[in-house]
Amino acid sequence: MIVVTTPTGQIGSKVLAGLVKAGEIVRAIARDPGRVEAPGSVEVIEGTHADPSVVARALEGAEAAFWCVPPDETMSAPAREYYLRFCRPLAEALPGSSVRRLVLVSSGGRGGPRDSGPIGAALEVEELLESTGVHLRALRCGYFMENLLSQVEMLRDRGIFAHPMKGDIAVPVCATRDIGARAVEILGDRSWTGQTGVGVHGPTHLTLNQMADVMTRVLGRPIRYQELSEEDFRSVLLGFGASEVYTRELIDLFRAMAGGLHDAQPRTPDSTTPTTFDSWCAETLWPAIA
């Protein structure tokens, strides 16, 4: 039996569906079991994976687990503390549990600077979980295509999207469906051991300007990338209700990305995943904007 966290999330929902389709027995942890889209065969433990008692119940008799820290733009704690909150209960429960294999959602950048906001926090989580001795595959993902969904109104109404980063810096850009598929593949394979990172990089690196060009072509309307100053980015995020600390950490993340943080996990044939940005725009962004 395999435990799945964030079963209603972008990656977690695909992991849940993929494991069920593959005939695996699945137990999900969800704050609201009613929101979990799964056949009756999936057992749902109600609660959060930040709660040690929930984690202890969920791991009982499990052979493997999929772990993902849910982002929270209203978080009041620094990213490191926030991320560890969702992983310490697991780290404490693992040694006495039946779980032998763990797949963790992480980020590129291992070996790079630690002041990289949520990326540095994810890498600290990797180290914590490694210290338990569990067999671990950390999915070191690139920039999610789905990040653009938070800018749908700006794309629709003004034809722009914006980040505090130069438009000519290339980063790996991947779709969450490919991350989910990679997790399902690894969880269904009982033969691997040890601890290592697995890059999930999409088909190519892209700059934000190149992403604007693809969107222009696929959406059939002019789309422009706008580089924001950190101060303007901060005001925009705060205006949307993000917390001060989240905003600061995200600025650190973009600084680290601009500084080449993803170079620490170079692209390989294995880290190159199939969903193109063109096809993602046609299948996901276009309906969201239309």
Q: Using CB under 6 A as the criterion, which residues of the chain lie in contact with ligand NAP when the complex forms? A: 6-12, 31-32, 35, 48-50, 68-71, 105, 107, 118, 122, 141, 143-144, 147, 176
Q: 62 or 250, CB closer to ligand NAP?
A: 250
Q: 66 or 101, CB closer to ligand NAP?
A: 66
Question: What Rg, from alpha-carbon coordinates, does the chain have?
Answer: 19
What is the nearest approach in angstroms of ligand NAP to the Cβ of residue 163? 11
**What SS3 class is residue 219?**
helix
Q: 30 or 94, CB closer to ligand NAP?
A: 30
* E strands present in 195-249: 195-200, 205-206, 224-227
Calpha distance 36→9 (Å, rounded) = 10
Calpha distance 114→118 (Å, rounded) = 10
What is the nearest approach in angstroms of ligand NAP to the Cβ of residue 277? 13
Query: How do 171-174 and 205-206 pair as beta strands?
Result: antiparallel
Q: 123 or 214, CB closer to ligand NAP?
A: 123
Q: Report whether 154 contacts 113 (CB < 8 A).
A: no
What is the nearest approach in angstroms of ligand NAP to the Cβ of residue 119? 7
Kindly give the residue spans of alpha helices, DSSP state H, lying in 37-151: 52-59, 79-85, 88-93, 118-130
What is the nearest approach in angstroms of ligand NAP to the Cβ of residue 68? 5
Q: 9 or 199, CB closer to ligand NAP?
A: 9
What is the nearest approach in angstroms of ligand NAP to the Cβ of residue 171? 9
